[in-house]
Structure 1
Amino acid sequence: MDRNPSPPSSDDEEGQTEDSIGSTVYSKHWLFSTLTRLIELVTKRDKSQSDEDDDDETPLELDEDMENAICKVWDMSMNEEVALFLKEFNAPEIFLGIISKSKCNRLTEICVGILGNMACFQETCAAISEDELLGEVLLLLMCDPDPPTLLETTRLLLTCVSRADVMNTWLERIRKRPSVRDNLCFIMSSSTNGELLVKVGELVDKLFDVDEDLMIGWIKAECAKSDTPADGEEEPGVLGLVPSLLEAAKQLKYDSPEGLDVYLHILQLVTTVDEGIQAIVQHPEDGRQTWEFLFDLTCRDLCQPGDPPLIVQEQKTILSSILAVMSVVFTSQIEQEYTKIGKNLPLIGSLTRILGNLETCQKKNDDKLRSERDEPRDSECEEDFHLQILKDVCCEFLANLLSRLTK
């Protein structure tokens, strides 16, 4: 005779509870065994390499079962209780050893990805940031040729730099490693991986936003190195920051409007200091390429005659960055061919159109407030703030253009 199965005993339930990580359904035993298997795999491979005494290190081959298991750990690490459990298990130290020994791109990517998830939580981020050796290795990974590894490393660094409690620790490390600047410039100037370029841009944008001295140091690095060539030898060219930013922006022009916005904001930050303005205008070719790229965006891509006036709402931040940079270059390079007013008359029409669209948007916002008779919401105040910034920048640039025209 069929009957319903007996309910689990209280002992079974207690055992399951003891094996669970916090309030999750994830198993401590499974996580222990997975990390142990991974350690054994890497240790065995490292020992075999030592026994063979071979200088040509062969990367560790990750079988499908092991890869699937460690990827599950990667997914699990998005949970704070799992992240804390991994910290107690000394996972950051374990992953440091694996990254150093395995020479396996996929495994390095996964390990850094897990650390990146752990860094999303305050306690685990602090533990990762306090590990000096791990911090050094992560910065060294910025020269890794593997794009997925670079993406996860950049994501981890951005997460850490964005946390106020550990920000200074990472800024100090980055200041001490000029190679970080060189590696980021290389990625920006040569990569075609859109996702990586966006994340690198977000990292550089954050670094420059919180540390002006670091930004100035990176701007001046090219001049400092080019002024001191080795005797009798040609020193390898140092990638310029501005050309690297410009190359990344061109790459993202059509593929990622958000990424393009990020890089143009970096250019705007660069022009807030004298060193940054000089970096753009002191080399005529760099200045010309920057100007022509921004000119095309303004006159041929953004806020065009057939666009609805409300398009300026979507494009307000990117337009503000573009016009701010162009205004600075225009007033700094009167003698340059590319800034002559005769070649830039279309800018007057574009700026006038932007101002007209701004006026239309402002009227609609005012009408909406009058009809609702409510206090403006925070989001509306922020929107009005950004529109006002665009209006101010646009008016200043247009005034400079018209002043030059009358002369």
Structure 2
Amino acid sequence: MEIALIKNLSCHVGKQVTIQGWIYNQRSSGKIAFLIIRDGSGLMQGVVVKQEAGEVLFSEAKKLTQESAVKVTGLVREEPRSIGGYEMQITALEIVSIAEDYPITHKEHGVDFLAEHRHLWIRTPRQAAVLRIRSEIEHALRNFFYERDFVLADAPIITPAACEGTTNLFELDYHGEKGYLSQSGQLYNEANAMALGRIYCFGPTFRAEKSKTRRHLLEFWMIEAEMAYFALNDTMKLQEEMISYVIERVLEKCTNELKALERDVEKLKAIKLPFPRISYTEAVEILKQAGEEFTWGDDFGAPHETIISSHFNAPVFVHRYPTAIKAFYMKPDPDNPEVVLGADLLAPEGYGEIIGGGQRIDDLALLEQRIAEHKLPQEAFEWYLDLRRFGTVPHSGFGLGLERTVAWLCGLEHIRETIPFPRMLHKMYP
């Protein structure tokens, strides 16, 4: 018997197939049992009619508990009233295992309880929908770069030096030496770009921030790109094309998931190229016009980013931030060294920064000066300085926070739902 996925039932109407999954819900009367079955790809209603299936099969169906594992075989038919528009007339049932009393029932549970049972929470339709959208976003990002001749070049997770200072690092002992969990693969990306031209890396990053907000995780995934011979405007153009590409893919491939999340897809469909571009100074003026007390030179907080993006109701680039609040490797604007050739992309609907990037310093003397100004040990960056000694060229890059992007496209209230097992302040279980 052919084994099918629930999401593909429309291809099997009028055929006998087998579904392998788990019981999401079960109800029965004296003559008929309804089994809601999930298999990871979706939900399906299975029907067991006592008169047709027989006493033994009907009794087996009635004793199934939530999350019991089953294999069911039967005839697929269209049924507009059923979940997904199709159902199965079950003719054979194999019980793989009977589940104990399941802790997550079909009622409201508190956030702390759900977090403690995250390994089970991810089985619910809403959480599964988020994770499927996350998977599609990752797939789309990889395709985007592949289609543009980028090379995937992995960066190390254990590093000997900080990318952006040591205050937010997880420190570890590396055979008697200090090592750190990576904040970013960017410095290594620059080396790879000098070898391969256009590259990207994709992996986990770690920041020991004390932030306890709906936007922050201590472990999160970033896709980071670096391009030789790219200036600031080149990288902003690439970023907006990438975001547009991802949105189109999610709208095309994740219709059922977005519906399950009750996402207002019209807001995503309304996003068009090019994205607005404003300077940091112009963004400060928007804040002041909105009644915010804000000093030029300060960094934006989440409320500030929300006000700025709401002004456009679209993703917006904010470029040329003050040099003092950006990383040591950011290239100062030749026309105004008080600001750097960097840009953040702010997502609409209050989701804030999802991409940060810009043009890197390509001058050896200036980079040495910036390392000294940031009080970083130059000896730890000698290899990085070598990139300026041997064939330096203008180059730019950026990093996209996957979880923030997932939260935005899914319309989620909190970032903890965007990754299977979130790592947040004081929360490391399970």
Query: TM-score normalized by structure 2?
Result: 0.21
User: Which structure has more helix as a fraction of its residues?
Assistant: 1
Greater RCO structure (CA 8 Å; 6+ sep): 2
Query: TM-score normalized by structure 1?
Result: 0.22
